């Protein structure tokens, strides 16, 4: 990103854009998490410090392109969740970096099913008193 006033050049690292995109993705309804991809285990969820997992970016001087690999929550409308994800990531990256996001590609690599609640068995009654 060139400075118009001649003060130098500002370059935003790919990792910075990837972190912003990862955080925006983790806050999007219907998205259960990011996927590390086939090489890191099929549909393996990662979160926390690894917000860059499942995010690939290409950053130019004025523009950025973002690829996301995600796991959606069971019961969510996948197309709706992905459209919301694209919009959230685009807005977050553009507002924080000033870069123009030219595309946000989403690849759904899995579905997270709700974890069944542990069934509690009734305590056996004392047979003798």
What average pLDDT score do residues 39-50 get? 44
**Range in 12-16, 50-54, 73-77 with the lowest mean pLDDT:** 50-54
Element (H, E) at 59: strand 55-59
Residues 59-106: pLDDT tens digits?
A: 999 999 999 999 999 999 999 999 999 999 999 999 999 999 999 999
pLDDT at 30 over 70: yes
- Which two tokens mark 66? 């973002």
Contacts (Cβ under 8 Å, ≥6 apart) of 40 = 53
Overall residue count recorded for the chain in this entry: 129
Q: Which residues contact 1 (CB under 8 A, 6 or more apart)?
A: 9, 10, 11, 12, 61, 62, 98, 99
> Is residue 52 scored above 90 in pLDDT?
no
111/116 Cα distance (integer angstroms): 15
Q: How confident is the model at residue 125 (pLDDT cuts 50, 70, 90)?
A: confident
Amino acid 41: pLDDT: 44
**Residues 16, 97 contacting (CB under 8 angstroms):** yes
Confidence (pLDDT) at 4: 56
Report, as an integer, the average pLDDT of 5-11.
Answer: 81
- Name which of 4-8, 101-105, 107-111 the model is least confident about: 4-8
Structural domains present in the chain: 30-112 (3.30.70)
pTM (two decimals): 0.75
């Amino acid at each position: 990103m060139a400075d118009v006033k001649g003060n130098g050049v500002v370059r935003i690292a790919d990792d910075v854009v990837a972190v912003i995109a990862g955080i925006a993705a983790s806050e999007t309804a219907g998205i259960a998490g990011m996927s590390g991809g086939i090489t890191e285990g099929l549909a393996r969820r990662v979160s926390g410090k690894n917000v860059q997992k499942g995010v690939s970016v290409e950053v130019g001087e004025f523009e950025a392109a973002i690829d996301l690999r995600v796991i959606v929550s069971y019961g969510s409308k996948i197309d709706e969740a992905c459209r919301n994800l694209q919009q959230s990531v685009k807005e977050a990256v553009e507002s924080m970096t000033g870069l123009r996001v030219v595309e946000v590609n989403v690849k759904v690599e899995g579905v997270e099913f709700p974890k069944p609640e542990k069934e509690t068995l009734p305590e056996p009654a004392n047979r003798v008193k």
